[in-house]
């Protein structure tokens, strides 16, 4: 990968925290005091220069035990006189503590007695001047000592704040764990209800399938009954047609019977007439026969 690509690369909060050996919320806390940290609208991505600046801030706060305000002043001076630090740009993100020249005032108390011992024969004015210089150097050393004590007190206060924040985070973590356990319990109950609902739904599906099967059977029976009904209707229709034909035949037979009855009536009258004529003929025949017998008797008498 080229140097330009390395400089343009962006890191996430977790990646930056891992590279700098910091807790993510510490990085976010420092961003509130060092606005130059972070890239993008939400300040959630970090460049190579941001990584170097975080390492420098960590060195000033944890290594040299400076306060945040003192670290800001130190970084302001370092930006005024930029020094190239490994891992980032010189002006915006130094990575290590620049070498500092020892304070000349701190060496004065040790040199003053030596100078006083080397020049025992100096004039009283020179001795007084050296004494004033030694007192001034001693005052500076005392000032630096007081500043160091203040730094230590501030470091202890910062440590106390860090412990309080850590305790607070621990309590929040415990609360979150309790909430997670409660949510897991709720989720388990919800899963049990879902499982029961699925079982009930499966039972309902089986019942619906059974009702569907019954409905299909009833539909098949209904179709068979409709077919039988159609056949019965056809039979009834045929029988009705046959009955209509029989009725028509009956009407025709009744008409013929009436004709036969009329003809039979006429035949009876003719028969009576014939009987009467037969009776008359029989009478005439009997009369003729009697006469013939009389004539035959006459002939017999005459023949004798």
How confident is the model at residue 123, as a pLDDT? 43
How confident is the model at residue 70, as a pLDDT? 95
Examine the pLDDT at 33 and tell me if it is beyond 90: yes
How confident is the model at residue 82, as a pLDDT? 55
User: 88-97, 176-185, 236-245 — which is least confidently predicted?
Assistant: 88-97
Sketch out the chain's domains with CATH numbers: 1-97 (1.10.1660.10)
Query: How would you write the chain as a 3-class SS string?
Result: CCHHHHHHCCECHHHHHHHHCCCHHHHHHHHHHCCCCCECCCCCEECHHHHHHHHHHHHHHHHCCCCHHHHHHHHHHHHHCCCCCCCCCCCCCCCCCCCCCCCHHHHHHHHHHHHHHHCCCCCHHHHHHHHHHHHHHHHHHHHHHHHHHHHHHHHHHHHHHHHHHHHHHHHHHHHHHHHHHHHHHHHHHHHHHHHHHHHHHHHHHHHHHHHHHHHHHHHHHHHHHHHHHHHHHHHHHHHHHHHHHHHHHHHHHHHHHHHHHHHHHHHHHHHHHHHHHHHHHHHHHHHHHHHHHHHHHHHHHHHC
CB 184 within 8 A of CB 177: no
How confident is the model at residue 131, as a pLDDT? 57
User: Could you tell me which residues come within 8 angstroms of residue 141 by beta carbon, excluding any fewer than 6 positions away?
Assistant: 105, 106, 108, 109
How confident is the model at residue 149, as a pLDDT? 79
How many other β-carbons are positioned within 10 Å of the β-carbon of residue 221? 10
User: 44-53, 130-139, 259-268, 281-290 — which is least confidently predicted?
Assistant: 130-139
CB 45 within 8 A of CB 38: yes
Examine the pLDDT at 111 and tell me if it is beyond 60: no
Confidence of residue 27 (pLDDT cuts 50, 70, 90): very high
User: 15-19, 29-33, 130-134, 210-214 — which is least confidently predicted?
Assistant: 130-134
How many other β-carbons are positioned within 10 Å of the β-carbon of residue 58? 18
User: 123-137, 212-226, 234-248 — which is least confidently predicted?
Assistant: 123-137
How confident is the model at residue 26, as a pLDDT? 94
- CA 259 to chain CA mean position, Å: 97
How confident is the model at residue 67, as a pLDDT? 94
| Mean pLDDT value of segment 63-81 | 90
| Mean pLDDT value of segment 133-158 | 71
Confidence of residue 81 (pLDDT cuts 50, 70, 90): low
Confidence of residue 91 (pLDDT cuts 50, 70, 90): very low
Examine the pLDDT at 58 and tell me if it is beyond 80: yes
What is the percent of the chain where pLDDT is above 70? 77
Report the chain's C-alpha Rg in angstroms: 71
Examine the pLDDT at 152 and tell me if it is beyond 50: yes
> Could you give the CA distance from residue 234 to residue 223 in angstroms, rounded to a whole number?
16
How confident is the model at residue 162, as a pLDDT? 80
| Mean pLDDT value of segment 111-132 | 45
Examine the pLDDT at 10 and tell me if it is beyond 60: yes
How confident is the model at residue 112, as a pLDDT? 38
Choice between 18 and 163, residue whose per-residue pLDDT is larger: 18
Per-residue pLDDT tens digits for 179-194: 877 778 787 876 888 7
Examine the pLDDT at 119 and tell me if it is beyond 70: no
Mean pLDDT of all residues in the chain? 77
- CA 246 to chain CA mean position, Å: 79
What is the percent of the chain where pLDDT is above 90? 21
Confidence of residue 124 (pLDDT cuts 50, 70, 90): low
> Could you give the CA distance from residue 247 to residue 264 in angstroms, rounded to a whole number?
25
How confident is the model at residue 75, as a pLDDT? 93
């Amino acid at each position: 990968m080229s140097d330009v690509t390395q400089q343009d690369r962006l890191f996430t909060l977790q990646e930056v925290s891992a590279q700098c050996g910091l807790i993510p919320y510490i990085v976010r806390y420092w961003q509130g005091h060092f606005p130059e940290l972070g890239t993008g609208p939400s300040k959630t991505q970090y460049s190579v220069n941001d990584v170097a600046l975080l390492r420098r801030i960590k060195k000033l706060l944890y290594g040299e035990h400076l306060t945040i305000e003192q670290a800001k002043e130190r970084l302001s001076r370092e930006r005024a006189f930029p020094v190239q630090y490994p891992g980032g740009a010189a002006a915006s993100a130094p990575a290590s503590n620049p070498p500092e020249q020892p304070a000349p005032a701190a060496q004065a108390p040790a040199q003053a007695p030596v100078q006083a011992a080397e020049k025992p024969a100096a004039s009283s004015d020179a001795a007084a001047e050296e004494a004033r210089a030694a007192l001034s150097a001693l005052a500076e050393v005392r000032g630096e000592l007081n500043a160091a004590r203040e730094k230590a007190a501030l470091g202890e206060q910062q440590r106390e704040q860090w412990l309080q924040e850590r305790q607070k985070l621990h309590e929040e973590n415990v609360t979150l764990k309790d909430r997670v356990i409660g949510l897991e319990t709720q989720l388990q109950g919800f899963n049990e209800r879902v499982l029961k609902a699925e079982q009930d739904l499966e039972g309902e599906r089986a019942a619906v399938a059974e009702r569907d099967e019954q409905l299909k059977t009833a539909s098949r029976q209904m179709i068979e009954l409709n077919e039988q009904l159609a056949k019965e209707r056809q039979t009834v229709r045929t029988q009705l047609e046959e009955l209509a034909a029989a009725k028509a035949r009956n009407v025709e037979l009744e008409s013929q019977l009436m004709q036969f009855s009329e003809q039979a009536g006429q035949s009876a009258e003719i028969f009576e007439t014939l009987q009467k004529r037969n009776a008359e003929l029989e009478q005439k025949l009997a009369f003729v026969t009697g006469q013939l017998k009389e004539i035959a008797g006459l002939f017999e008498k005459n023949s004798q």
